[in-house]
Amino acid sequence: MQAKGFHSTLSTNIPLHARHEYAACNLFVLHELPADIIVDSFELNGHGLCFQFVGNTNLELPTSGVANESGWLLVAVKPETDLVVVDVPLHVRYGVPHEGHNPRHIIQLPPPICFWACPSSYQSLHSTLPSQSPKFHLFNSSAQFEILQHTTSSPLSFDIPVGNINHTLYIEICTVTVTLLAFVYIVQDCWTIFKTLYSAHLKMQ
């Protein structure tokens, strides 16, 4: 599934038919997010999620202003039913302008990794997390992992409009023009207020 626009919700369905076998374990969903994708910590808190995010937390920067490095979002999940749905609101940074008519940018999201993090006593578990993922404090460094295979998520890509690079000069000229006109208006308004106050001061004398 592909999301069109700058805002969407990534929904992950996790079937837990054998969850009682992992009663001593904790369930997590790990998202690797491209640099184009933003997660808002305040919004995640508002959704009641227990999470840890490692990556660029500046929500205002466009794609051109951030390093081309993935962000990592780890979400702790309560395995209370045989089917758990985890919703994570995602947003897209403004993209780099391209050439052509109605240019667009496709952002692919790697599928999330759903896994159990278990005590070291679960020695039969041999799954590993991606080597490039950072260290997280939500689970013990000695934890044993069991990755779940039959999970589904959507959307896994974004299709967003971007600016036309051929329009950059016109946009800059318009921006400068509007800024100068606003400056002239403010100066004129301040001068009018000054004359009014000065006249009132003279009358009082």
User: Could you tell me which residues come within 8 angstroms of residue 49 by beta carbon, excluding any fewer than 6 positions away?
Assistant: 75, 76, 88
pLDDT at 1: 56
pLDDT at 18: 85
Per the listing, tokens 């005590």 go with 119
Q: What is the pLDDT of residues 118-140, one digit of tens each?
A: 998 888 888 899 889 999 999 98
pLDDT at 149: 85
Contact between 114 and 28 (Cβ < 8 Å): yes
Q: What is the pLDDT of residues 92-109, one digit of tens each?
A: 988 887 777 878 888 899
- Per-residue HEC secondary structure of the chain comes to CEEECCEEEEEEEEECCCHHHHCCCEEEEEEEECCCEECCHHHHHHCCCEEEEECCCCCCCCHHHCCCCCEEEEEEECCCCCEEEEEEEEEECCCCCECCCCCEEEEECCCCEEEEEECCCCCCCCECCCCCCCCCCCCCCCCEEEECCCCEEECCEEEEECCEHHHHHHHHHHHHHHHHHHHHHHHHHHHHHHHHHHHHHHHHC
Ranges of residues in the chain whose predicted pLDDT is under 50: none
pLDDT at 119: 92
pLDDT at 116: 94
pTM above 0.85, yes or no: no
